[in-house]
Amino acid sequence: MPGRVWTREKLIEAIRSLHDQGVDLSPTAIQKTHSALFSSARSRSHFGTWRAAIEAAGLPYEDIKRVKQRWSRDEILRQIREHDKQGDDLLHPSFKIKHRSLYLAACAHRYFGSWRRAIEAAGLDHETMRESRVWTKSRILRTIQDMARQGKPLGWAYIEEHCPGIYRAARRKENFGSWTNALVEAGVQTGAPQRGRRPFAPHLDGAMMGDIKSVRVLQVAGTDGTPTAPRVLAKD
C-alpha cells in the first residue's frame, strides 16, 4: 500500500479488509507486512496508536495482539472441499457473502489470487460447476420430478416466489415456454396446457404415485362464490 494517501476512514476500511482476509494484525506482524498502513495509523493526525486504530475498526485489540494467522493455503483448500462436500453452491453470490472471509482470503494475492484458482487448486472443476448452474431442459425436468417425489408444492405462485431460477428457465421459449408445459413434460401434470392460463399445483400420473404420498385436491371458492383453481395438499 505504499504511496497511498491515508485518511481515518481508509485506514479503518483497510484494517477490516485485512482482518477478513485472515491477515495477522498483531503489531509485530503488521509492521513487516504493511508498514505504511501501520505507520499511518499510529500517526498523531490519525489514531496515535495501533490499538486505537484496531478498536476504531471495531476489532478486539487483545485478541488481535495474540492472534494466530487464521488462513493458509491448506486451510482455504480444506474449507472449500468441505463446503463442496456439503453440497454448497460455491459460485452463488450468497455463498460469497455468507462466507466472505473465506472468499476474500482465497482471492488474496498471497494465496490464490482468484476464487476460480482456489476452487481448481482444491481439485474441483470450476467449469463443470458453472455449467451445472445452467438450467437445461433435462435439469428442469429432473428437478421437477425430484420435487414431486418429495411432496413439495409445484404451483406456479409458490415456485415463482421460492424457486425463481427454475420458474424463469422453464418459461423460456427455448425450454418449455410455460411452467405448465414443464409440469406436463415432467409427467407430474396430465392434460394439454391451456394458453393464457397460469398453472396450478399438479396432478400426478400413475407412474409417480407409488413414490409420492397421496395428494388431496381442494376446490377453493373465491370471494364471489365462483370456484378458483384447485390446490394440492400433500397428506402425511
Place of cell 486451510: 75
214 in a domain, yes or no? no
Considering the domain architecture, whether residues 126 and 166 belong to the same structural domain is answered as: no
Considering the domain architecture, whether residues 16 and 48 belong to the same structural domain is answered as: yes
The grid cell for 143 is 428437478
217 in a domain, yes or no? no
Other beta carbons within 10 angstroms of residue 203's beta carbon come to 14
CA distances from 188 to 116, 163, 168, 232 (A): 38, 17, 18, 12
Note whether 132 and 126 are within 8 A (CB): no
What is the percent of the chain where pLDDT is above 70?
77
225 in a domain, yes or no? no
Considering the domain architecture, whether residues 191 and 142 belong to the same structural domain is answered as: yes
Considering the domain architecture, whether residues 41 and 83 belong to the same structural domain is answered as: no
Hey, which residues does 31 pair with through a beta bridge? none
At 199, which amino acid appears?
Answer: P
223 in a domain, yes or no? no
Note whether 119 and 126 are within 8 A (CB): yes
Q: Give the mean pLDDT of 104-119.
A: 91
Question: In this predicted structure, what is the pLDDT of residue 69?
Answer: 58
Considering the domain architecture, whether residues 142 and 199 belong to the same structural domain is answered as: yes
- Burial track 150-186 (b if 16+ CB lie within 10 A, e otherwise): ebebbbbeebeeebeebbebbbeeebbebbbbbbbbb
CA distances from 105 to 57, 80, 99 (A): 19, 12, 10
Averaged pLDDT of the chain: 79
Hey, which residues does 233 pair with through a beta bridge? 216
pLDDT grade for 97, boundaries at 50, 70 and 90: confident
Angle of CA points 208, 85, 87, to nearest 5°: 45
Which has the closest alpha carbon to 203: 185, 219, 186, 215? Answer: 215
For residues 79 and 101, what is the distance between their CA atoms, to the nearest angstrom?
11
21 in a domain, yes or no? yes
Q: Which of 97-101, 117-121, 192-196 tops mean pLDDT?
A: 117-121
Domain that holds residue 49: 8-65
For residues 157 and 141, what is the distance between their CA atoms, to the nearest angstrom?
18
Summarize pLDDT for 114-123 with one digit per residue, the tens: 999 999 999 9
Considering the domain architecture, whether residues 148 and 203 belong to the same structural domain is answered as: yes
227 in a domain, yes or no? no
Question: In this predicted structure, what is the pLDDT of residue 232?
Answer: 45
141 in a domain, yes or no? yes
Residues written for the chain = 236
Considering the domain architecture, whether residues 49 and 20 belong to the same structural domain is answered as: yes
Higher model confidence: residue 111 or residue 86?
A: 111
Can you give the pTM of this predicted structure? 0.40
Considering the domain architecture, whether residues 18 and 31 belong to the same structural domain is answered as: yes
Summarize pLDDT for 152-193 with one digit per residue, the tens: 999 999 998 888 888 988 999 999 999 999 999 999 987 555
Considering the domain architecture, whether residues 128 and 142 belong to the same structural domain is answered as: no
Q: Give the mean pLDDT of 43-59.
A: 93
Question: In this predicted structure, what is the pLDDT of residue 216?
Answer: 40
Considering the domain architecture, whether residues 44 and 88 belong to the same structural domain is answered as: no
144 in a domain, yes or no? yes
The grid cell for 165 is 431460477
Domain count across the chain = 3
Considering the domain architecture, whether residues 59 and 100 belong to the same structural domain is answered as: no
For residues 45 and 40, what is the distance between their CA atoms, to the nearest angstrom?
8
Last residue of a domain, one of 46, 65, 84: 65
Other beta carbons within 10 angstroms of residue 209's beta carbon come to 11
